[in-house]
Structure 1
Amino acid sequence: MAWLDAHSTFDADSFTAPVIGLASTLGQHDSGVHRHQRGQLLYTRQGCIRITLAQQLCLLPPSRAAWIPAGVSHRAVMQQSVDYRSIYLIADLCSELPQQVCVIEVSPLLRAVLEPMATAAFATEWQQGRFAHLLGLCLSEIAEAARQPMLLPLPQDKRLAPLLATPARLPPPLHVLEHQIGASSRTIGRIFQRETGMGYQQWRQQWRLMRAIELLATGRSLSYCAYELGFASDSAFIAFFKSLTGSTPGQWLKPATDDRPQK
């Protein structure tokens, strides 16, 4: 097990053990683009991580986990303070796990299993005894976990990509985008359908949802989120959020408190 500070680097591939655990709290940290020979489960106990992939944007909200298969290039950016746990698994242990990056719900059982695994010594024996059972439970829980829609495909079209490349800038309404790139709404729709599998309006709504979760997870108020995301009122923002998630912002983020010590 390793504890990191904001200036530390960690290379799980330099170890021989089948499982390597990492426990850390970082703030304003940027991993840079990198990849692992191991699969990685990244779990945020508190805070939010933005993960950039080659053609996708992935948001890891508090109390959820991202599964990143071996060999996938990615960049993790942490704003403010993020308390997280990370488990790195050799390829032989990943055969039954997802083959693509995904964000999953973390069940109470998986949450309980991750802590001793993330804080286990590097010399831990994973083939037998208690830690073999923990590993088996962890693999089963990852494989069966419900996935959450926290990945957003990014268009690669040379006209659109520069306008939509800034993570915190609200994508413009369709009529504004038409004027900016000199293309009709039909052309823009075809490009987005081809490159993201969604129409522009659907893609923009998903972007707004992910940005809303990121803002809320870093302590922004409902009023701030509503203003930043172009809603006329707090109630309009809450209605939008609930229409896409089935929960109000407060209800959706509530699981983030589950790991905090009870008073």
Structure 2
Amino acid sequence: MTELPFSAVDLSLPVPAPLYFRHEKYQADTEFDWHRHPWGQLNRISLGLLELELQLPRRTLAAPAEYLVWIPAGVPHAAHIRQALDYVSVYVADAQAASLPAQPCLIVQTPLIRALLDDFCQRGVTGLQDEWDVSQAQLLLQRLQQAGCVDDYLPDSDDRLLRPILLAMRAHAGDDTTLAAWAQRVHSTERTLARRFQQLLGMSFVQWRSRLRLLQALAWLKQGRTVSDIAAELGYATPSAFIAMFVKQTGITPDRYRRQLLADVPPRLTGCMQ
């Protein structure tokens, strides 16, 4: 792919000092063609799921609202927003971006990071106008550096014990086999598998399975399947248990997510993601 130019919108903005905020509202099923930015960019959504397509290597980076998506300066990406939401783009000056990850990744919004961003967003801050905002931005950047990052919302592994488990679960997201039962199948122990999930995937077996089920649920909701049907297919004892998981992960109910998917679809957008 030929190197993409920076958009006229980006080039019209002031250089982040050290941050610059852009606030937008997007309708369901908004898409952005391949583009890149002259500065590092933190993407923040209010609810639901943000999907970014990365070029090298070609992969999809899916992130629920509990995460920020970090894209370093100059990295080509495309985006798909499935549901109507509030969106904030935070551009980061080069000097500060150098302390953040060198590759696209997800950064969890800790309570303090969320509170600092909420304050900027509620006040509609764009450029930083006074020393208090600059100090708040510096604290935010420090916390972002400390928060760590993950390469993927649903990571994979070639580990000889985890690989068959992950493949089987991806094929049947509703499989309710316990970790102890999986340990017997792969000739290991529950303790060993639990340790490998944490060490190699950065989360527990139950957390990984919940993320898998959320992504499958989003796909099935788009296909028009009912909440009760999805809940049963994914192994939840009741629809309310499934709904509770969905709200915790996305900030909205499955029915609201579906209604937003069925909203009027705006024209496809190109260029800079606002």
Instruction: Give the structure-2-normalised TM-score.
Output: 0.56
User: What residue identity is the alignment partner of 1:23?
Assistant: H
Query: Does structure 1 retain, via aligned residues, the 8 Å contact 2:154–2:212?
Result: no
What's the counterpart of residue 176 of structure 1?
A: none
86, 99, 113: which one aligns with 2:116: 113
| Per-residue Cα deviation, 1:60-118 (whole angstroms, up to 9, x for no partner) | 21232111111111111111212222201121220110111111221222112223445
Q: Give deviations 1:160-201, integer Å, cap 9, x for gaps.
A: xxxxxxxxxxx878xxxxxxxxxxxxxxxxxxxxxxx99xxx
2:147 & 2:8 partners in 1: Cα distance?
Answer: 27
Show the 5 A alignment for 1:194-233. Answer: 208-209=212-213, 211-212=215-216, 214=218, 222-225=227-230, 231=233, 233=235
Could you say if the C-alpha distance between residues 47 and 213 of structure 1 is closer, same or farther in structure 2, counting changes exceeding 3 Å?
Answer: same
Q: Which residue of 2 aligns with 1:81?
A: 84
Deviation, structure 1 residue 215: 5.0
Structure 1 residues 217 and 134, CA, compared in 2 at 3 Å: closer, same or farther?
A: farther
Over the matched positions of the two proteins, sequence identity in percent amounts to 23
* Other structure's SS at 2:113 match: helix
State the alpha-carbon separation in 1 of the partners of residues 9 and 104 from structure 2.
Answer: 20
Q: Deviations over 1:38-57 (max 9, x none)?
A: 11111112222111112111
| 1:15 matched residue in structure 2 | 13
User: 2:144 maps to which residue?
Assistant: 142
Q: Give the counterpart letter for 1:249 in structure 2.
A: M
Aligned-partner Cα distance in 2 for 1:46–1:10: 29
Aligned CA RMSD, in angstroms, stands at: 4.1
Whether 1:72 and 2:75 are equivalent positions in the alignment is yes
1:193 aligned partner: none
- SS of residue in 2 equivalent to 1:143: helix
Does structure 1 residue 39 correspond to structure 2 residue 43? no
Find the aligned partners of 1:147 and 1:252 in 2 and give their Cα distance: 20
More RCO (CA 8 Å, sep 6+): 2
Distance 1:152 1:57, change over 3 A: farther
Moved more, 31-40 or 59-68: 59-68
Give yes or no for contact 2:24–2:87 (8 Å, CA) kept in 1.
yes
Extract unaligned runs of 5+ from structure 2: 1-6, 157-169, 173-199, 202-208, 253-274
Deviation at 1:237, TM superposition (A): 11
C-alpha deviation, 1:223, in angstroms: 3.6
Tell whether 2:245 aligns with 1:249: yes
Match of 1:157 in 2: none
Q: Which amino acid aligns with 2:135?
A: H
Given the two structures, how large is their TM-score scaled by the length of structure 1?
Answer: 0.58
* In 2, Cα distance between equivalents of 1:32 and 1:136: 32
